[in-house]
Amino acid sequence: MVEANPLKDSFGRKIEYLRLSVTDRCDLRCFYCIPKGFKDFSTPEHWLTFDEIERIIAIFGQLGVSKLRLTGGEPLVRKNLPELVQRLGQLEGIEDLSLSTNATQLVKYADTLKQNGVSRINVSLDTLNPQRFQDITGGNLAQVLEGLQAAKQAGFHPIKINMVVMKGINDDEVSSMVDYCATNDFTLRFIETMPMGETGQDASQNYISLQKIKAQLAEKYDLIPTVMGRGAGPARYFQIQGSNLKIGFITPLSQHFCETCNRIRLSVEGTLYLCLGQDDKIELRDTLRQGINDTELRQLILQAIALKPEKHEFDRKPEQVIRIMSMSGG
């Protein structure tokens, strides 16, 4: 039974959103996420099994977590992921099951994911230029665009495009991405680079404040403040007057949103991270395998929530988070 009082941290924030990484591996190599030549990925014996994942998420659902997002790495490279999706979507308390993806596998999986209970998807897409896409990710842009069309045909709505805006790399494509998303009825979200691990810290030289991007767009469009509803997350949304396009700005550095943070992250190895920009964490996998019962697991989760820090320190201590983004679950 879902408990009447949802999880709250020591700062009074309701914790109702869990981002679950099902793999730290990916079929792309975005330079700001995974270091070039990186091979130190987790191995299958260290991954949470589907049974272990289901058990943990069931407890979270009972405690008041209602939103669950599957992330990676690239979640669709995890074998038999649709089976896990189906199992998680049936758990009590989980009302919103979503997926973050790079879209390379959506031609194959979009219909099955929709049928098995995924309601929304977010797609990482930083450029519409094929050569630039290859430079950033090592992948094929056409494969991603085909995946997005497959998601539309499967009935996903909204489909959110996440664009990390980087100075001197893709900041000249902001208007083109606006046009692309307006044409395809996608929601567009701009994201600031974050100094996560070695790659993120290297990419910080390409940081550009989204306040500047928003000001540029405001010169061209009438931006009307709006809300997104379910799954809005940390973005601040605006609608372009005279269109259906909604644009979100995710600004962890220039205008942080820590005071309303309602999310935590569970890695593929069972590490529960309480903040993307801090190293507060509790390990769940080993305790599961040592025979912890559900009552003890529930108490361990409650103890973890009490550790959630007030805010990140990307601006003051960018060097303190050394784990790469794909290890954290996005």
pLDDT in tens, the chain (330 residues): 666 556 999 899 999 999 999 999 999 999 888 877 888 899 999 999 999 999 999 999 999 999 999 999 999 999 999 999 999 999 999 999 999 999 999 999 999 999 999 999 999 999 999 999 999 999 999 999 999 999 999 999 999 999 999 999 999 999 999 999 999 999 999 999 876 445 445 546 888 999 999 999 999 999 999 987 665 567 899 999 999 999 999 987 766 668 888 999 999 999 999 987 777 789 999 999 999 999 999 999 999 999 898 876 555 555 555 556 656 665
Decide if 1 is inside a domain. Answer: no
- CA proximity to 186, closest of 126, 129, 130, 246: 246
In a domain, 209, yes or no: yes
Q: Please indicate, yes or no, if residue 139 is contained in any of the structural domains.
A: yes
CATH number, residue 107 = 3.20.20.70
Q: Starting at the edge strand that comes first in sequence, how are the strands of the sheet with 281-283 ordered?
A: 223-226, 236-240, 246-250, 187-191, 159-164, 120-124, 96-101, 67-71, 17-21, 263-266, 271-273, 281-283
- At position 77, the amino acid (one-letter code) is V
pTM: 0.90
What residues make up the domain containing 202?
17-328
Q: Is residue 7 part of a domain?
A: no
Q: Which residue has the tokens 């189906």?
A: 86
Within a domain: 227: yes
Tell me if 235 is assigned to some domain: yes
Neighbours of 72 (CB within 10 A): 27
Count of the separate structural domains present in the chain? 1
Q: 116, 126, 56: which is closest to 86 by C-alpha?
A: 116
Report if residue 8 sits inside a domain: no
9 located within any domain: no
